[in-house]
Amino acid sequence: MFSSARCLLRSCFSSLNVGASSSLQSASSLLPRTLPSARHYASEASSEISAALSRDPNAFKKYKPVSPGIRHLKRPIYPHLYEGRPLRQLTVPLRKKGGRNNTGRITTRHRGGGHKQRLRLVDFMRSEPGKCDVVRIEYDPGRSAHIALIKNRNPDLPGEKVWSYILAPDTLRAGDIVESFRAGIPDGIVPGMDLKELMGVNTQDKSLVSSKALAQGLLRSVVIKPGNVVPLRLITPGTVIHNIGLNPQGPARLVRSAGTMGQLVLHEEGGRYAHVRLQSGEIRKILLDCVATIGKVSNPLWKNRNLGKAGRARWLGIRPTVRGMAMNRCDHPHGGGRGKSKGNKQPRSIWGWIAKGVRTRRPGPKGPKNSNKMVVRERPRGREQEGKLMKT
């Protein structure tokens, strides 16, 4: 009885398999035949589904592990980058010193070697007014962010000031227009309206308050664009900025690394300062006459890249890091002894500073407490920083 039932089940399943295989063959016959594709060593996530599900529109290029050096290699894909050489007039050769000072002593460890490079001369002043056309976005080996080559439209400028490199914001592309308002707002920026006259009206007169608000809105709609250099007094609170200066006549100093950004928090009423939140979470006061660039710094995926092998770090001029326990006693506090032991010593750095359990940083941002009057709120540390990371 059981054998007959088994035979019946086998016959049913075989008929189902035959029907399914015949239907698959008929369906495959309708599809166009394709030749076997050639072997590719790089695969890019370019499908619509992966692009829709990804958190960032930019993807990473990953390689098939045909060798150990590219098994973990991961690079961000930026198709808008210019693949040629830089403008040679805006570069100088990089003279490497291997982390040594003028007396020949190593003051910065883990530096040396690397590929030959030419430093791109990036303009952090942006003192020339007028509209500039973005020619292309380039890779810069000397920094983590991308740079943009711009050309000033002013025909009266000398040749060396027509072309310049600037730090590229995240959304800036070739063909865009950027402008610097460091020297002030030019006349006639909005046709048919004298914005300077409207901005200078008396706010106590209620009939003119609306006209002043309209002038401020029109001015900010023209000025607040990615890549424009604008004084802090003209930037709306909440705007994302980078390339922030600390001196009204000086170059940009803060928020210049890849993917970083600051945010204008508020303008002091009747004061000289604006409050700016930096990438670290610190809020500090900066003069209203200082300038900043609108937008976020480009190349936000730089921190998620993976070099894949130690050789690529050497190409970048990064030398290996050796553990202290592997050194001799004369070279590190953890060195020496018999076997793998640091001799029950408290963890210390190579210079003898206690590394765990003891706070070595002085209170305050730069020395004793309240030494830096410009800092409104210090950056989060310890448990406060852990709570901030958990929320994000």
Whether 224 maps to a domain, the answer reads: yes
**Statement to judge: residues 71 and 105 lie in one domain:** no
**Statement to judge: residues 150 and 289 lie in one domain:** yes
* 293, 275 contact by CB (below 8 A): no
> What are the E-state strand segments in 189-318?
229-231, 240-242, 244-245, 252-254, 262-267, 273-277, 283-287, 291-294
300, 334, 355 — which closes off a domain?
300
Matching residue, tokens 């380039």: 138
Whether 386 maps to a domain, the answer reads: no
**Statement to judge: residues 111 and 249 lie in one domain:** yes
* 262, 254 contact by CB (below 8 A): yes
Residue type, 172: L
Where in the sequence is the domain holding 65, given as residue range(s)? 42-76
**Statement to judge: residues 56 and 92 lie in one domain:** no
Tokens (6 digits) for 265: 């928090």
- Spell out the per-residue pLDDT of the chain, length 392, in tens: 445 555 544 554 454 444 444 443 444 444 344 444 444 444 444 455 454 444 555 589 999 999 999 999 999 999 999 999 999 999 999 999 999 999 999 999 999 999 999 999 999 999 999 999 999 999 999 999 999 999 999 989 988 899 999 999 999 999 999 999 998 888 777 665 665 555 544 445 555 556 667 777 778 888 899 999 999 998 999 999 999 999 999 999 999 999 999 999 999 988 899 999 999 999 999 999 999 999 999 999 999 999 999 999 999 999 999 999 999 999 999 999 888 888 888 899 999 999 888 877 666 555 666 678 899 998 888 788 777 666 66
Whether 109 maps to a domain, the answer reads: yes
Whether 1 maps to a domain, the answer reads: no
Overall number of domains in the chain: 2
pTM over 0.75: yes
Whether 369 maps to a domain, the answer reads: no
248, 276, 300 — which closes off a domain?
300
**Statement to judge: residues 66 and 95 lie in one domain:** no
Question: What's the residue count for the chain?
Answer: 392
Tokens (6 digits) for 377: 């709120």
261, 285, 300 — which closes off a domain?
300
* Distances from the Cα of 367 to the Cα of 81, 170, 253, 265, 349, angstroms: 43, 35, 20, 26, 21
Distance of CA 203 to the CA centre of its chain: 41
**Statement to judge: residues 180 and 63 lie in one domain:** no
**Statement to judge: residues 292 and 158 lie in one domain:** yes
Residue type, 377: R
Residue type, 3: S
**Statement to judge: residues 132 and 180 lie in one domain:** yes
Tokens (6 digits) for 29: 């016959």
**Statement to judge: residues 92 and 146 lie in one domain:** yes
Whether 10 maps to a domain, the answer reads: no
**Statement to judge: residues 48 and 179 lie in one domain:** no
Tokens (6 digits) for 351: 């210079």
**Statement to judge: residues 159 and 47 lie in one domain:** no
**Statement to judge: residues 208 and 134 lie in one domain:** yes
Q: Residue 255: which CATH number?
A: 2.40.50.140
Cα separation, 183 vs 247, in Å, equals 14
Cα separation, 122 vs 241, in Å, equals 18
Whether 318 maps to a domain, the answer reads: no
Whether 353 maps to a domain, the answer reads: no
